[in-house]
Amino acid sequence: MPAALRRVLLWMAVGVAALLLAGGCAGLRLRPEATPRPAPSPTASFAPVAQVSAPSTPTLPSVAEVVAKVAPSVVAIAAETQGVDIFLRPIRGVSTGTGVIFDPAGYIVTNDHVIADARRVLVTLSDERTFDAKVVGRDPLTDLAVLKIDAPEPLPALPFADPEAIQVGEWVIAIGNALGLPGQPTVTVGVVSALDRSTSVGDRVYNDLVQTDAAINEGNSGGPLVNLRGEVVGINTIVVREAQGIGFAVGNTTVVPVVKSIVAHGRVIWPWLGVGVDNVTPGKALELGLPVREGVLVQGVQRGGPAAKAGIQAGDVITAINGMPVPNVRKLQRILREDFKVGQQVTVTLHRGSQTLEKQVVLEEFPRPT
């Protein structure tokens, strides 16, 4: 990978593709779950649902009921690619994956790596009808893409769950075109194991990941991780080959603004602050002698970027933007993505030693890899 691209990826931390390397994933070799020919994936186990004995306690919806509700919105994707063999003869390849309809007009979100470099993309609905799909736009930085099919009638679409309402321990269901097999989608059940995970896979850096122990198998890439209300919690993306019970979905703090931007502009326009950041925790605050117990610690500042121009420095702790509290990186990402635009001036409140400062920052567009 060119050195310039590595430098750009390093500073993706904030601005709609904030690249925070979170703890908990270090030392694990991760790989995108779907490949042109799906590779073997580990199986994941989950705890059985406990029997509820107290008659006054409301029962959980059955998994079958939830699946029946969401399955019509889950689609199988086949992406045709063209390459050459070692003798330079043309060969045709097919990458399989999954997608989910999020708009009745036929808009589908999936993973970018499922359809990257495809000459033709086919989408098969739950009723087995197949359509040629148009690639509306891609965002390799977040590994998301939006497709569009022209069906003669409105299609069943799934809503996105409020990312602030997603809880660790919440039951979730992974649905997808596992193994690229024909027929109904594969269903696995688990819980949300952790939130706000970040990791890298090859040249890609993933942020805002929802960790789950619901088994994510090959071909599931781009499929939905849903809660028991039938809402999309995230888009299934990564499995850990070396461990059981660890899979990841891109969270809605990323998914929602990405699909909105692609539908509106055909690409993602990221507001960029130009800093590398990490969460402030009570332990980290004590260790580093920080003046606050929550916020966003600036670990580095991109030379010539918006934050550098405004005088923000490594070691500063950001606690608010335009008066909106920023208790963690996730909130900072969401505020930048959903509330501000490129070219807008924002007031960044930060702590530097014993001082509380306000810096005026003009947000710039996130620099695209070249």
Q: What is the C-alpha radius of gyration for the chain, rounded to an integer number of angstroms? A: 21
- Residues forming beta bridges with residue 71, ordered by sequence position: none
Q: Are 294 and 286 in contact (CB under 8 A)?
A: no
Return the SS3 of 160: strand
- Residues forming beta bridges with residue 364, ordered by sequence position: 272
Mention every residue, 6+ apart, whose C-beta is less than 8 A from residue 50: none
Q: Give the CA angle between residues 55, 60, 63 to the nearest 5°.
A: 140
Helix-helix angle 252-265:329-339, to 10 degrees:
20
- φ/ψ of 313, rounded to 5, equals -125, 155
**Dihedral (C-alpha) 187, 189, 193, 195: value to the nearest 10 degrees?**
40
Expressed in angstroms, the distance from the first to the final Cα of the chain is: 11
Q: Are 215 and 43 in contact (CB under 8 A)?
A: yes
* 221 is known as an active-site residue: yes
- φ/ψ of 322, rounded to 5, equals 50, 35
Cα separation, 12 vs 359, in Å, equals 21
Catalytic residue among 112, 113, 198, 208: 113
Q: Tokens 């495809």 sit at which residue?
A: 118
Q: How many CB atoms lie within 10 A of CB 80?
A: 14
Catalytic residue among 208, 221, 261, 316: 221
Cα separation, 322 vs 172, in Å, equals 35
Q: How many CB atoms lie within 10 A of CB 287?
A: 9
* 113 is known as an active-site residue: yes
In terms of DSSP bridges, do strands 317-321 and 295-301 run parallel, antiparallel, or are they unpaired? antiparallel
Task: State both tokens at 66.
Answer: 């939830």
* 139 is known as an active-site residue: no
Q: Tokens 């199986």 sit at which residue?
A: 43
Catalytic residue among 112, 139, 143, 196: 143
By annotation, the residues acting in catalysis are 113, 143, 221
